[in-house]
Amino acid sequence: MLQVPKLTLHFSTQTPNWDKELEEDVKEECNSSYGQVVHIGVAPGSTDGEIYVKFDRVQGGENAIKGLNGRFFGGQRITAQYLVDAVYNMNFPQAANV
């Protein structure tokens, strides 16, 4: 079972391609500081930057929760919490076997 942090950031959706920019920024931060990201995605229908990150190891998810919860990113406070794989896979079926 992989630990999947769910991160909520309030991000301006007025910017074109805001979701891809957010994914790239969060992935870069997570890969360099917490563990290997195997999938990342903005929640379907999200308008406020709810993003899910799947790591290759449990430790990566734990590190991300500890390191990101309450931190500021782009001037906004991050809320990081655990999410079970089943919910992640429901939102991102293509990541179920990653």
- The Cα 82–Cα 80 span in angstroms is 7
Instruction: Please say if the pLDDT value at position 81 is more than 90.
Output: no
| In a domain? residue 57 | yes
Q: What is the CATH number of the domain that holds 35?
A: 3.30.70.330
| In a domain? residue 50 | yes
Domains of the chain: total: 1
Q: What angle do CA 43, 87, 85 make, to 5 degrees?
A: 115
List the single range of 26-30, 45-49, 77-81 with lowest mean pLDDT: 45-49
| In a domain? residue 98 | no
Mean pLDDT of the chain: 83
| In a domain? residue 25 | yes
Instruction: Please say if the pLDDT value at position 1 is more than 60.
Output: no
| In a domain? residue 15 | yes
Range of the domain at 70: 4-93
Range 56-67 average pLDDT: 90
| DSSP of 56-79 | SSHHHHHHHHHHHTT-EETTEE-E
Tens digit of pLDDT for each residue in 2-41? 556 666 665 556 677 878 888 998 999 999 999 999 999 8
Cβ contact 15:21 at 8 Å: yes
| In a domain? residue 62 | yes
Q: Against a cut of 0.85, is the pTM above it?
A: no
* Type of residue found at 21: E
